[in-house]
Chains A and B, each alone.
Chain A
Amino acid sequence: AQTVTQSQPEMSVQEAETVTLSCTYDTSESDYYLFWYKQPPSRQMILVIRQEAYKQQNATENRFSVNFQKAAKSFSLKISDSQLGDAAMYFCAYRDNNAGNMLTFGGGTRLMVKP
């Protein structure tokens, strides 16, 4: 079974600085999808960014970008110019065809942003 590991239970960053959240996963598949979700205090899960494994180019969405290292099975999230509104739980997730379209989530990283 696929597993997703987020090794940082908590991270903090100064406002306007850059922070990187780590995620590793275990799979024997070559075709899969990776996601980062944000869960603010409202508890609503929001899709931040996604990456398709067959694409070598790292995905970018405004201040959010990923560093996708397929061989190392690593999928880190970089948040640039951190804002107070970025404070939230962040979950890394994995999905592949053989998993019956199921998402497997990591345990989450709580990000605190200091003013």
Chain B
Amino acid sequence: DGGITQSPKYLFRKEGQNVTLSCEQNLNHDAMYWYRQDPGQGLRLIYYSQIVNDFQKGDIAEGYSVSREKKESFPLTVTSAQKNPTAFYLCASSMGHRTAFNYGYTFGSGTRLTVV
């Protein structure tokens, strides 16, 4: 079955460490997105990519980095520069052409990151 896989489900980070969250999709979607969700709050966009080898900053990109070397993969690195990384991270994907806009996004099951 097609879908988006995020791993790991839970991740613990020590102060000063970089960690990478994985996001893989087999839906043949062009666009991929990373969102951060804090308790009881909505989704805030970190980074997005509409095509391989290209990505743009979202609303809260500071302290994060991404790459898009393959269509299927969009990993997110939380760097030591991110001062408050404890949150729930959601990856999503969508078809890139306008005729598919009405389909919205497909989401992964998320990664819960905790700083210890």
> Which residues does A use to contact B, with CB under 8 Å?
33, 35, 37, 42-45, 47, 50, 52, 91, 93, 95-97, 100-103, 105-108, 110
| Measured CA separation A57–B41 after assembly (Å) | 31
**Within the complex, which residue of A33, A91, A97 is in contact with B42, where a contact is CB–CB below 8 Å?**
A91
Q: What's the tally of chain B residues with a CB closer than 8 Å to chain A?
A: 24
**Could you tell me the distance between the alpha carbons of A107 and B31 in the complex, rounded to whole angstroms?**
23
- Check A102–B88 contact: CB distance below 8 A: no
Given contacts A45-B107, A47-B104, A100-B50, contact A105 B42 (CB under 8 A): yes
Which residue of B33, B43, B101 is within 8 Å of A33 (Cβ)?
B101
28 A–B contact pairs at CB < 8 A?
A33-B104, A42-B109, A43-B90, A43-B109, A44-B109, A44-B110, A45-B92, A45-B105, A47-B104, A50-B103, A52-B102, A93-B104, A95-B104, A97-B98, A97-B101, A100-B50, A101-B50, A101-B94, A101-B98, A102-B45, A102-B48, A103-B33, A103-B104, A103-B105, A107-B42, A108-B40, A108-B41, A110-B40
- Looking across the interface, which residue of chain B has its beta carbon closest to that of A103? B105
Return chain B residues, CB-CB under 8 Å to A101. 31, 50, 94, 96, 98, 101
Since A91-B43, A101-B94 are in contact, a sample of 5 more A-B pairs with Cβ atoms closer than 8 Å, ordered by chain A residue number, is: A33-B104, A47-B104, A96-B101, A101-B31, A110-B40
